[in-house]
Amino acid sequence: MITTNIETVPGRTILEHYGIVQGSTIRAKHVGRDIAAGLKNLVGGELRGYTELLQEARDEAFSRMVDQAQEMGANAVVNVRFATSSVTSGASEILCYGTAVLVE
């Protein structure tokens, strides 16, 4: 599956347009990570537990988007974007979306 954040796939022609595809996940904070983050806030630096949590969430949302595109018969997703929103205190949604297409 070819994925890109631009409107086309360079060197390829779009033959079919299947529409918007998306994948999302909702993740909540973890008590252990919250404690570590609180301590890290005192001394400064990267909150690695949260960095890992967000990377896992992005990977899962991206994978779900690609799966949906494959089900539609696409071999590429263009205009890939990520968005996030707060669902409730301590939980956020990561959304990955794009346009499923068939390229030559």
Q: What pLDDT is recorded for position 62?
A: 98
Element (H, E) at 31: helix 31-43
Q: What is the pTM of this model?
A: 0.84
**Interatomic CA distance for residues 82 and 56, integer angstroms:** 13
Q: What is the pLDDT of residue 92?
A: 87
Please list the pLDDT of the chain residue by residue as tens digits (104 residues): 999 999 999 999 999 999 999 999 998 876 555 555 555 555 667 767 778 888 999 999 999 999 999 999 999 999 999 999 988 877 889 999 999 999 99
As given in the structure block, the two tokens for residue 45 are: 């630096």
Of 63, 33, 38, nearest in space to 48 by CA: 33
How far is Cα of residue 32 from the mean position of the Cα atoms in its chain? 24
| Distance from C-alpha of 62 to C-alpha of 4, rounded to nearest angstrom | 12
Please choose, from the candidates 2, 8, 4, the residue with its C-alpha nearest in 3D space to the C-alpha of residue 81. Answer: 4
Class for domain 2-103, per CATH? alpha beta
The two three-digit tokens of residue 7, written as one number? 């409107």
Domain range list for the chain: 2-103
